[in-house]
Amino acid sequence: MIFAIETSCDETSAAVVQGGKILSNIVSSQTQVHAEYGGVVPELATREHLHNLPTVVRRALDTAGVQASDLSAVAATRGPGLPNALLAGYNCGQGLAFALRVSFTGIHHHEAHLYSPWVTGAVADFDAFEPNVSLIVSGGHTILVHVRAELDHAVLGSTLDDAAGECFDKTAKLIGLPYPGGPALDRLASEGDATAYDFPRPLLREAGDDFSFAGLKTSVRYFLERHQDVLADQQRLRNLCASVQAAIVEVLVTKTVRAAKRLGVGCVTASGGVTCNSQLRRDLRVACDNAGLRLRMAERNLCTDNAAMIGILSERKILAGVAATALDSEVLPSWSL
Ligand code: KG4
Ligand code: ZN
């Protein structure tokens, strides 16, 4: 039975996992704390993690109905992420492993994202695993990965500047929506006309698998400088949201499916906060169906950051015989996938 901790950014999370089953997955989000600053404030995130960890750890054990003494291993996110935020959860995990005399595994946050789409209804189905192209798309990252086999992957491309979630959030901020604006923009877009305004699709026609979203955000800013009146008209505002969302989603979907076809895999997976976006979910489904690709999108509660995915991956690593991580190891804030 594995205890897992995740504190790489602004979610304090702890989970208990056993035999591919998620017995508990407690997530304490700090969104409210950071909202008034319009983004994550690292120092505040660390303080919140330190404050929340004892309660979150206790709740994860209680919800699973287990005692600390039942645990056979501990895992925690080692990187990438905010250095001191990582340190809070990593140290907590190391302390637990030391006190319980069990093994400890430091997990790569993005590697964990790669396997969360294989979980359905709190149960991981790795018997169904097949080589895939995986899209990790969140507030901090946009990464396309070729997962050749379990625990064997190669990064195909990533964003050269802003992440897709950042583009959603910065666009939302420009039109006056509260942080994080992605979900609110999604709601407004659902009643808008995506063909109303034409925004660029950055790097869509380029051969590589990298992304770039900073220019798109800038073109929204220029658009608003020229069309201030759009902000005062609810329907045109919805149309603007739908048009920007369509540009982001088209790039994500097209490049993901194109990479899957090029590499000859039969499956596409997606995870990360932006995978909650309704148009992305819809369009990726249609594009994969049309291309004859099986699609696995992480369930909504596993799209955003959580400790269950850390526990699920650490269990697979233990089963595969991957060595434990030293109890005096350091966090790796810039760890590449
Ligand atoms: O994976 P996540 O929780 O963690 C971080 O990156 O920290 O992703 C959060 C991101 C934010 O940028 C948020 O605006 C975006 O995911 N997001 C969405 C939606 N739900 C969350 N973006 C667009 N549409 C949504 N429905
Ligand atoms: Zn994440």
State if residue 138 touches ligand 1 by the CB under 6 angstroms criterion: yes
130-298: same fold as 2-116+302-319?
yes
State if residue 140 touches ligand 1 by the CB under 6 angstroms criterion: yes
Q: Which ligand has the minimum distance to the alpha carbon of residue 10?
A: 1
What pLDDT score does 107 carry?
98
Q: Which residue minimizes the CA distance to atom 6 of ligand 1?
A: 139
Of 114, 168, 169, best ligand 1 pocket probe by most atoms within 8 Å of the beta carbon: 168
Q: Which ligand has the minimum distance to the alpha carbon of residue 9?
A: 1
Going residue by residue through the chain, which has 337 residues, state the pLDDT in tens, using 9 for 90 and above: 999 999 999 999 999 999 999 999 999 999 999 998 988 999 999 999 999 999 999 999 999 999 999 999 999 999 999 999 999 999 999 999 999 999 999 999 999 999 999 999 999 999 999 999 999 999 999 999 999 999 999 999 999 999 999 999 999 999 999 888 999 999 999 999 999 999 999 999 999 999 999 999 999 999 999 999 999 999 999 999 999 999 999 999 999 999 999 999 999 999 999 999 999 999 999 999 999 999 999 999 999 999 999 999 999 999 999 999 999 999 999 999 9
State if residue 83 touches ligand 1 by the CB under 6 angstroms criterion: no
Of 138, 173, 177, 279, best ligand 1 pocket probe by most atoms within 8 Å of the beta carbon: 138
Q: Which residue minimizes the CA distance to atom 16 of ligand 1?
A: 273
Q: Which residue minimizes the CA distance to atom 20 of ligand 1?
A: 183
Cα–ligand 2 centroid distance for 63 (angstroms):
23
Q: Which residue minimizes the CA distance to atom 22 of ligand 1?
A: 182
What is the SS3 assignment for 274-325? HHHCHHHHHHHHHHHHHHCCEEEECCHHHHCCCCHHHHHHHHHHHHCCCCCC
Cα–ligand 2 centroid distance for 6 (angstroms):
10
Burial label, 320 (beta-carbon count in 10 A; 0-12, 13-18, 19+): exposed
State if residue 112 touches ligand 1 by the CB under 6 angstroms criterion: no
What pLDDT score does 38 carry?
86
Residue 75 main-chain phi, psi, to 5 deg: -135, 150
For the chain, the structural domain boundaries read 2-116+302-319, 130-298
Strand pairing class (267-271; 294-297): parallel
Cα–ligand 2 centroid distance for 291 (angstroms):
27
Of 304, 305, 306, 309, best ligand 1 pocket probe by most atoms within 8 Å of the beta carbon: 304
**CATH fourth-level superfamily of 2-116+302-319:** ATPase, nucleotide binding domain (3.30.420.40)
Look at the block and give the residue holding tokens 């996110």: 77
* 130-298: CATH architecture: 2-Layer Sandwich (3.30)
